[in-house]
Structure 1
Amino acid sequence: MKFLGIDYGRKKIGLAVSDGVISEPWKVIRYDDEVDGLEKVKQAAEEQSVATVVFGLSDGEMAKETKGFVVKLGRKLSCQIVFQDESLSTQDAQELSIGAGIKRKKRKEMEDAYSAAIIFAKTVDS
């Protein structure tokens, strides 16, 4: 069974894929508007044949936007969608990528994908 971890943002979306044991940063999707973002996430989920999508959920205003996006995405996908607290996922991703010796430019490009991998890992751990 495959999983897709998602770190949702207003301009870009970080994606990580997992077999349920190991989560790997996959890519970062940049999008123009919500319709474009929904279509790109749908394509990514279908490309990976995922059974479950795990969305990171923060506090406050961004949580409301994320939930709205997920409701619309749920109408397009037939897989399960769950939420996971994403507190400190970006900070944890930065620390891990620095510790792994990943160059600054690559870290910046893939930061949201690393965060998505951490969000999924928190789901497995909980």
Structure 2
Amino acid sequence: MRCPRSSHLETALVPRYLGLDVGSKRIGVAVSDELGLTAQPVLTLTRKRNPREDMRSLARLCRRFGCVGIVVGNPLHLSGEASTQGEKTREFAEELGQMAALPVHFWDERLTSREAHAILYAAGKSRQEHKPLVDQVAAVLILQSFLDARSNRRRDLENEAPEGGIAPGEASD
């Protein structure tokens, strides 16, 4: 017989996402936790000559973590316009999504590398120690921003007032 409490915990689990900071030399990889609250660093993948090898490795990680989607940093110019790197990233991500049979969500990654370097400096890491970590930290920042936005949207939907009714948390006169 199943305990009702454990059944509730199983249904409370949120789908996991793989977060990527795709660069020309390295790909930072992060994954969301089982509750969908935080992004955790996984690894920095050094790019192979054949992009399909990178895609196969990332598709395996998606299966390993039971991911339902892939969040890819969209490298835009500070003005918000698309960049040439953005087109390459988009093509790579779309092919990865097909290979992994998962939806791909593009997420604004402006200034994440700069923020990642600042975090590493604050953690006491020297500039030489940044190279293998900065892409992972950037992937965490991209994925965390995506998770926070999803959580905020969900909260906003839950707090919307029903037609003619009072939204939760509102006082009536």
TM-score above 0.5, yes or no: yes
Partner of 1:44: 61
C-alpha displacement at 1:105, in angstroms? 4.0
Partner of 1:73: 96
C-alpha displacement at 1:112, in angstroms? 0.4
Query: Could you tell me which of 101, 111, 115 is aligned with 1:88?
Result: 111
> Is 1:17 matched up with 2:8?
no
Query: Quick one: percent identity of the two aligned structures?
Result: 25
Does the 8 Å CA contact 2:38/2:147 hold for their aligned counterparts?
no
C-alpha displacement at 1:79, in angstroms? 2.4
C-alpha displacement at 1:103, in angstroms? 4.6
Q: What CA distance in whole angstroms lies between the structure 2 residues aligned with 1:103 and 1:13?
A: 21
Query: Could you tell me which of 137, 141, 162 is aligned with 1:114?
Result: 137
Does the 8 Å CA contact 2:22/2:72 hold for their aligned counterparts?
yes
Q: What CA distance in whole angstroms lies between the structure 2 residues aligned with 1:124 and 1:75?
A: 22
C-alpha displacement at 1:9, in angstroms? 1.1
Name the structure with the higher strand share.
1
Q: Which amino acid is 1:49 matched to?
A: G
1:4-51 Cα distance to aligned partner (Å, 9 max, x none): 110001121100111221112210011222111111111121222111
- Root-mean-square deviation (CA), in Å? 1.5
Structure 1 unpaired stretches of 5+: none
Does the 8 Å CA contact 2:37/2:148 hold for their aligned counterparts?
no
Q: What CA distance in whole angstroms lies between the structure 2 residues aligned with 1:5 and 1:103?
A: 25
Partner of 2:70: 53
Does the 8 Å CA contact 2:21/2:135 hold for their aligned counterparts?
yes
Q: What CA distance in whole angstroms lies between the structure 2 residues aligned with 1:86 and 1:120?
A: 10
State the structure with bigger RCO (CA 8 A, min sep 6), 1 or 2.
1
Q: Which amino acid is 2:63 matched to?
A: E
Partner of 1:27: 43
Instruction: Find the residue that maps to 2:27 and give its secondary structure.
Output: strand
Structure 1 residue ranges, 4+ long, deviating more than 4 angstroms after superposition: none
Structure whose alpha-carbon radius of gyration is higher: 2
Q: Which amino acid is 1:22 matched to?
A: T
